[in-house]
């Protein structure tokens, strides 16, 4: 697993810094089941993590390669290592998902991932409620 500093440095290097905060890297890492780090010397140049339930569902998260190291097969080795780790103790079949930019679809297709025609993905950017409003949550659906 990457350290929080390695994770945040890569988030910033690939231009995702506007989508998070450095103080959340430790929490993001602690929620992962496992991950890999590509290292050159003593520097992390790439990483990827897996979230999931270990039985039916896995999610590839934060697959990143520092721009200075892209185009050298590092990302492919990270994805392959994560998929190997998922398969190792896993069941006969498992749904593995990820979110990526459209410009990277071809990269993931070579590993067997497919786009929206196979599975409709949705997301929600959920904002945390202030404590005063969160106390009144009843669990009822709107």
Q: Which domains does the chain have, with CATH numbers?
A: 4-115 (3.40.630.30)
Residue of 55, 56, 50 lying closest to 33 (CA atoms): 50
Rounded to whole angstroms, the Cα distance separating 99 from 122 reads 10
Rounded to an integer, the average pLDDT of 39-47 is 95
Rounded to an integer, the average pLDDT of 39-50 is 96
The answer to whether the CB of 11 falls within 8 A of the CB of 20 is yes
pLDDT at 134: 53
pLDDT at 105: 83
Rounded to whole angstroms, the Cα distance separating 109 from 104 reads 9
pLDDT at 52: 92
Higher-confidence position of 96 and 121:
96
Rounded to an integer, the average pLDDT of 51-80 is 94
Higher-confidence position of 44 and 113:
44
End-to-end CA distance of the chain: 39
Band (89; pLDDT cuts 50, 70, 90): low
């Amino acid at each position: 697993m990457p350290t929080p500093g390695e994770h945040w440095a890569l988030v910033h290097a690939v231009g995702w810094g506007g989508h998070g905060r450095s103080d959340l890297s430790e929490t993001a890492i602690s929620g992962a089941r496992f991950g890999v780090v590509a290292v050159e010397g003593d520097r992390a140049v790439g990483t990827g993590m897996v979230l999931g339930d270990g039985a039916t569902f896995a999610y590839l998260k934060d697959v990143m390669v520092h721009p200075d190291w892209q185009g050298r097969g590092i990302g492919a080795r990270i994805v392959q290592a994560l998929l190997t780790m998922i398969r190792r103790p896993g069941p006969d079949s498992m749904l593995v998902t990820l979110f990526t930019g459209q410009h990277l679809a071809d990269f993931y297709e070579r590993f067997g991932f497919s786009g929206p025609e196979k599975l409709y993905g949705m997301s929600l950017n959920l904002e945390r409620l202030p404590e005063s409003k969160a106390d009144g949550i009843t669990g009822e659906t709107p």
